[in-house]
Amino acid sequence: MREEAHLVVEDVRKLYGEVVALDGVSLAVGATDYVVLLGPSGSGKTTLLSVIGGFAFPSAGRITIAGKDVTALGPAVRPTTTVFQDYALFPHMTVAGNVGFGLRIRGVAGTEQRRRVGAALEMVGLTGFDRRGIHELSGGQRQRVALARALVVEPQILLLDEPLGALDLNLRRQMQDELLDLQRRTGRSFVHVTHDQEEAMALASLIVVMNKGRIEDLGPPQRVYARPATRFAATFMGESTQFEGRVAERASGQCLLVETPVGHLPVTGNLEAGSQVTIILRPENIRAEAGGEIALGEARVREAVFQGAHYRVLASRQSPAQDFVLRLPPQAVIEPGMALKLSCAAGDLVLLQR
Amino acid sequence: MIGRLRWPGAGTALGALYMALCYGFIFLPVIVLVLFSFQSGDLPAPPFNGPSLRWYQAAFADGRLVDGFTNSLLVGGSSSALSVLLGFFAAYGISRYEFPLKRAIQAIVILPLAVSYLLIGMGLLVSASWLGFSPSLSTVVIGHVVVNMPLAFVICLAQLGEHQRRVEAAARDLGASTFRVLFSITAPMIAPALIAAFCLCFTLSWDETLIALLNTRFDVTLPVVILSLLRGGVSPLTNAAGSFIFLCSILLMVVVELLLLRQRR
């Protein structure tokens, strides 16, 4: 069950001149959620983060944090802090100077300031770096300083703007684990912007898929991946086989029969007969054997790419034409031109309205 | 191109000659000026007999030159400080806020760079007398701020880019007021440029003659003193004073170069 909403975004719009950056976005987030705003560039995810942080003011709509309307408040007085994409550290200050900045502004001085700066540096694994200059740090260390600087003032919500974009893959994985750990230990909600769906799934307790200034889908990563709400969310979250079709008949209750190039597929949904629909199926849910619940017919392998843990296989059939993408175990013997009998389980078919 | 010449060295030699002529044209008068400031005779003209520091001693013993020196320091220091302060504020406002007529205001701020010193000096003299102020060093300070502030503005504006903006946003995000951001983040971060702007303004004010001549009466700046000395005929004394001014300017320009070069790295 979802906890009570802490950050609430209500029908927020943001226009830059004629350009619509946010087109009526609504969102409710719990006090300990790890929210990931996921979308391609230009989807409005960074604008939404700026609007939550107070760096941009919405053209319409309302934002409340812990029941308080913060829509018109600037970043200085919001209970949020931000980790910027380029970290935006203060280059003329030491590590301790950077981390202590927010405390000095709040009048926390002397031993108390030193204690809290020390605790924050320990939390991000930089104990003993107090006196270092910013220029002496590596990218990952700068990232940690930015985190410590933002967390030391105990914000209710931490905002992260593509924080891992500048790091290499190994460091990114490591920082993902540390971010999750940090979020659990501090018990605060994190709002994290990325365009990387793997990063989103690794971190999020709530994924918000955005496109063209709108929310396409919103939910726990497992649900958003397995049963996306829109075709955009489906393709952005990963590959899938897509069957274009038309609702042939409404069987009893929520059960529909959809006419597709691979025959009539039974799916659950609530649509009138004749509606144009797309059915999607994730690659790992396709079985290369005839024994499955629903037969998908026979297809020829066009391409098989070895990816370490599995083969990524592209297959297709003629008249009526249909492409498939599926995964096969790495020990499988696959040649282009081979015929595969495909099947799947009924529960894995996801109906999307076109 | 050079490869097609019969003597490949010829182009290079021609270039070197051209460069030598250029530099000679620029620096020969300076070298002559400095050389004859060490003259031990009474005329700053060949033959050179010396070297001697006689005329430097005379310059530092001359009350008018020393007063002029102090006045120049005063005018240079205060006008440059004001120019940098106002230029910095103007640059911050222009780069960080959106407001109507922004382009026009920016153009007006830079405009004095294109107006002749004679016009500014005379305008200042006329306005001052119309307002009932007698010409003084303060009027000269105002004049120098008018001509130097645009320079300080342009130097500061070039420093306040996107990265700087995000760092300021980070400070604001942590609770800093605009005043706090300006003085604990922006100014320290662009400190080298601010110091360089100060030195540049100071150098320009240090040997500015026209505005200073038109707007002073009894307390005058060093270039004005030298001008009046020249009216009484040439003497190695003026060479010594001129060389000293030149030396000060050179030192400041070295500081500017060092600061701005280190920035670019």
Note the pLDDT tens digit of each residue in A41-68.
Answer: 889 999 999 999 999 999 999 999 988 9
B101 plus B229 within the same structural domain: yes
B145 plus B16 within the same structural domain: no
Taking only the tens place, the pLDDT of each residue in B183-209 is 999 999 998 889 889 988 998 998 888
**Residue B71 within a domain:** yes
Radius of gyration of chain B (CA): 23
B14 plus B108 within the same structural domain: no
Residue of B nearest to A56 (CA): B169
Indicate yes or no: CB of B174 within 8 angstroms of CB of A91: no
For residue B180, the chain A residues in CB contact (below 8 A) are 105
Indicate yes or no: CB of B166 within 8 angstroms of CB of A89: no
Indicate yes or no: CB of A86 within 8 angstroms of CB of B166: yes
CATH of the domain at B201: 1.10.3720.10
Indicate yes or no: CB of A101 within 8 angstroms of CB of B176: yes
Q: What is the pLDDT of residue B262?
A: 67
| A181/chain B closest Cα distance in angstroms | 23
| A306/chain B closest Cα distance in angstroms | 42
Taking only the tens place, the pLDDT of each residue in A275-307 is 889 999 999 999 888 777 888 888 999 999 998
Q: What's phi and psi for A300, nearest 5 deg? A: -100, 140
Residue type, B216: T
Taking only the tens place, the pLDDT of each residue in B124-160 is 989 988 988 887 888 899 999 999 999 999 999 999 9
- To which residue do tokens 């891992």 refer? A164
Indicate yes or no: CB of B173 within 8 angstroms of CB of A81: yes
**Residue B222 within a domain:** yes
Q: What is the pLDDT of residue B7?
A: 65
Q: Write the CA distances from A234 to A281, A299, A316, integer angstroms.
A: 9, 23, 20
The more confidently predicted of residues A38 and B231 is A38
Residue of B nearest to A98 (CA): B171
Pair of tokens at residue B83: 């120019």
Alpha carbon distance A198, A196 (integer Å): 6
For residue A53, the chain B residues in CB contact (below 8 A) are 173
Residue A30: name the closest of A289, A239, A206 by CA. Answer: A206
B68 plus B29 within the same structural domain: no
B150 plus B114 within the same structural domain: yes
Size of interface A-B (CB pairs under 8 A): 59
**Residue B127 within a domain:** yes
Taking only the tens place, the pLDDT of each residue in A326-354 is 999 888 888 888 888 998 988 889 988 87
Q: Which of A92, A117, A145 to mutate to test the interface with B (most CBs of B within 10 A)?
A: A92
For residue A86, the chain B residues in CB contact (below 8 A) are 163, 166
**Residue B43 within a domain:** no
**Residue B49 within a domain:** no
Residue of B nearest to A88 (CA): B167
The more confidently predicted of residues A4 and B99 is B99
Task: Report residue B1's pLDDT band, with 50, 70 and 90 as the boundaries.
Answer: very low
B83 plus B21 within the same structural domain: no
B85 plus B192 within the same structural domain: yes
A308's torsion region: left (phi>0), alpha (psi -120 to 50) or beta?
Answer: left
Residue type, A310: H
Alpha carbon distance A31, B216 (integer Å): 70
**Residue B185 within a domain:** yes
B126 plus B21 within the same structural domain: no
Task: Report residue B4's pLDDT band, with 50, 70 and 90 as the boundaries.
Answer: low
Alpha carbon distance B226, A167 (integer Å): 62
Return the number of other C-beta atoms located less than 10 Å from residue A283's C-beta.
Answer: 18
For helices A169-186 and A139-151, give the axis angle rounded to 10 degrees: 20
B241 plus B131 within the same structural domain: yes
| B174/chain A closest Cα distance in angstroms | 5
Task: Report the number of distinct structural domains present in chain B.
Answer: 2
DSSP assignment of B126-169: HHHHHHTPPP-HHHHHHHHHHHHHHHHHHHHHHH--HHHHHHHH
Taking residues B153-172, report their average pLDDT. Answer: 91
Indicate yes or no: CB of B174 within 8 angstroms of CB of A105: yes
**Residue B50 within a domain:** no
B86 plus B204 within the same structural domain: yes
Taking residues B199-225, report their average pLDDT. Answer: 87
Return the number of other C-beta atoms located less than 10 Å from residue A306's C-beta.
Answer: 11
| B154/chain A closest Cα distance in angstroms | 23
| Interface confidence (ipTM) of the complex | 0.79
Q: Using a CB–CB cutoff of 8 Å, tell me whether A16 touches chain B.
A: no
pLDDT over 70 for what percent of chain B?
A: 95
Indicate yes or no: CB of B188 within 8 angstroms of CB of A92: yes
**Residue B105 within a domain:** yes
Alpha carbon distance B206, A131 (integer Å): 41
Q: Are A86 and A40 in contact (CB under 8 A)?
A: no
Residues 91..150 of A with a Cβ closer than 8 Å to B: which? 91-92, 101-102, 105-106, 149-150
Computed over every residue of chain A, the mean pLDDT equals 89
Taking only the tens place, the pLDDT of each residue in A132-181 is 999 999 888 999 999 999 999 999 999 999 988 878 888 888 889 989 99
Residue of A nearest to B178 (CA): A76
For residue A76, the chain B residues in CB contact (below 8 A) are 172-177
Q: What is the pLDDT of residue B213?
A: 85
Alpha carbon distance B51, A271 (integer Å): 105
B104 plus B191 within the same structural domain: yes
Q: Where in the sequence is the domain holding B32, given as residue range(s)? A: 2-37
B152 plus B200 within the same structural domain: yes
